[in-house]
A and B are shown apart, each in its own frame.
Chain A
């Protein structure tokens, strides 16, 4: 469970997130919004990279603060939009490093790595150097990085950008298996949302304009709004409405 109340975030004199309150149960939560809506800033705040200016973040039983920082970090898997890797590492070493650096205890580490590799379908590529992987395989390694150790909160920032349709289908399949975590998936692609998200959060100008199921967002659709699918039309209708206000 992830509970966010009255969250504010910004840089210098700029406020990026304004008084955001959200509650998320286990499952996949798609984070939609135009560029500059504050999605990446929100994810970085949840990832504990930048402390919130104001407000509270609670993950399961722990409220984010200096005393609980390590415990909470151990439960977060974060994959930024542009993630990197040491090309000399094998896939297994890359995931093992993530497990070690996330504080997975030594006795459980090997099993955690194996589990992440299996879930992402990289079991037979464990000994392959990262530099030899295709784009799709690299992305799967990134997901393995994020899910190793079964974190309670998985933050994925635009994880399907640059993937071909088959790779995106594969990605959705992998993510759908993570049933015991809150997964926040920032994306521009409504077909990803359609395919796997149980909940949708639409962010705009630092606030949540909508939180609900994809079906609920579709219901907001104005038939005249731009978009190829009901979800896209719901999204564009919502944003057009907020602009008018």
Chain B
């Protein structure tokens, strides 16, 4: 029973990271039809911005305080990169999907190469607050504290995004745009401004995922964003591209399946199980690839 509880919480924690990585990806695809392969670069930027901030701040500050500042810096960096990428690279290529894929893949490769050139290809350890390294005993299970933090952050982001989508004008335009952005434009609404805001939100969420994933892994490395991006794509496809609720549900399922398979089958089977789950969903529900409502 304690094993199951531990696996459940660690799986949910992993799912929380996947949700943070995938939510921006899902909104960007749903509204703009852009498959953003540079999303991994956004995550990497967030983790490096966090690492640089934490190492640059005075050591007299507690690790927790430096991490809090690093999260804010990562959010700002992610949002700014999102805006620049949307305005400079994506906007001239709307409705040119092949070129979008080429540009975002190119940007992703270039960003990783740049990070390797500047900071090296090796992983750099990142400090972790003492509380996050510890565990909390519930029943007979010792549950890692950092997973609780990931869950709380992901839940806050999910509720925040849902509130934004359902109780604000921006959210109304996003939901309408996910259905039919040409018609939004034909009603006299500047959908391009909404695109930029969504890219900024996606960049910030990705950067948040990046810095939290570096806490999960205990280090930052140029390849981290890419590996997280693969799972983010799987989550978005399973959840229905453009559906935030679907993305949240799929994140939880993927995180749990991965943890349970790794434990009960063999280490490494978790990744295989997730890919098989993706294949199963596409076979049974091919409409997943076509998108859904936000």
Q: Does A pair with B?
A: no
